[in-house]
Amino acid sequence: MLRAISLFCVLFATWLLLSGHTDPLLVGFGVASCALAVFIARRMDIVDREGHPVHLTWRVPLFWAWLGWQILKSSWDVAKRCVLPGPPIDPRVIRVPVNQKTDLGVVTYANAITLTPGTVSMRTFRAEIEVHALTGGSADDLESGEMNRFVARVEGHK
Q: Interface with another protein includes 111 (CB under 8 A)?
A: yes
Question: Phi/psi class of residue 133: alpha, beta or left (left: φ > 0; alpha: ψ in -120 to 50)?
Answer: beta
Minimum CB separation of residue 121 from another protein in Å reads 6
Minimum CB separation of residue 116 from another protein in Å reads 8
- Beta strand 92-97 with 119-124 is unpaired
Beta carbons within 8 Å of 30's beta carbon, 6+ residues apart: 12, 15, 16, 19, 21
Region from 34-42, 44-52, 115-123, 144-152 binding another protein, contact rule CB under 8 A: 115-123
Minimum CB separation of residue 85 from another protein in Å reads 10
Please tell me whether the peptide bond between 85 and the residue prior to it is cis, using omega within 30 degrees of 0: no
Q: Which of 7, 15, 96, 132 binds another protein (CB under 8 A)?
A: 132
Q: Which of 99, 100, 116, 148 binds another protein (CB under 8 A)?
A: 116
Q: Interface with another protein includes 104 (CB under 8 A)?
A: no
Site string for another protein, 61-90 (x = CB under 8 A): -------x--xx--xx-xxxxxx--xxxxx
How many Å apart are CA 59 and CA 95, to the nearest integer?
26
Q: End-to-end alpha-carbon separation of the chain, Å?
A: 28
